[in-house]
Amino acid sequence: MWQAENEFLHRRSNSIADFLLARANVEAQAGAKLVTFGEFNFPVRKQYEADLTRQGIGLAQRRGIYIALPLAVFNIGHKPSLEDKLVMIEPSGQIKWKYLKTELPPGLEVAILAPSSGLLPVTETPFGRLGAAIAFDMDFPGFLLQAGRRHADSVVVPENEYPEIDPMHSRMALYRAVENGFNLLSHASQSLSLDCDYQGRIYGLMDHYHATDRVLVAQ
């Protein structure tokens, strides 16, 4: 019984990854230089994490793009049992960081999510210093000061929300961008995705509940 369920979950994970990476490939062919997705968009069992990451590496190398890959890594039978992880892959295929969400909402996530180092990652790219945070991190002005102090030019933020707080978190994230002087690319499943600059000027919006094609493209 358990083996059959494990095989089903693995097939389902592969199907999701194939679909999303195919969409990313389309945008890369159209000229995208940085691609990301929503929080938890890539569910995967721990033993298959490396295989999934290699798929992202292959796409980054083929198309010469940066990929911020948000993983939900299930480590069933262990405590903590889930990693809310963002993997940044360079065009060379090198993994620049594997960041775990730091600020956790009270309740279930505190109980099951693996702890973070608490250090927001920042790396040099041809288009400036690129940083990252995940979802609830953006609610904490003091924590996001790290991005400003490390001179991040742009910050990628995957989120996964729900209708009752749409689009509150997206607006809060915009404030963090203005406070710390970075451009923001936030992909929010089940909420409002946005791209804005360090002065809060909007360059792209995508509403999960009204978009016919849930792809946000911004220059």
Mean pLDDT of 88-100: 97
Burial zone of 131 (CB within 10 Å; 0-12 exposed, 13-18 middle, 19+ buried):
buried
Q: What pLDDT does 212 receive?
A: 81
pLDDT band at 86 (very low <50, low <70, confident <90, very high): very high
Per-residue pLDDT at 4 exceeds 80? no
The 10s digit of each residue's pLDDT in 148-190 is 999 999 999 999 998 888 899 999 999 999 999 999 999 999 9
Domains, the chain, in order of start with CATH, read: 2-207 (3.60.110.10)
Going by C-alpha positions, the residue among 171, 168, 199 that lies closest to residue 183 is: 199
The 10s digit of each residue's pLDDT in 191-217 is 999 999 999 999 999 999 888 888 998
How much is the pTM? 0.93
**Angle at alpha carbon of residue 171, lines to 67 and 98, rounded to 5°:** 30
3-state secondary structure of 84: strand
Per-residue pLDDT at 41 exceeds 90? yes
**Residues whose CB is less than 8 angstroms from the CB of residue 175 and which lie 6 or more positions away in sequence, other chains included:** 141, 200
**Residues whose CB is less than 8 angstroms from the CB of residue 98 and which lie 6 or more positions away in sequence, other chains included:** 85, 86, 87, 88
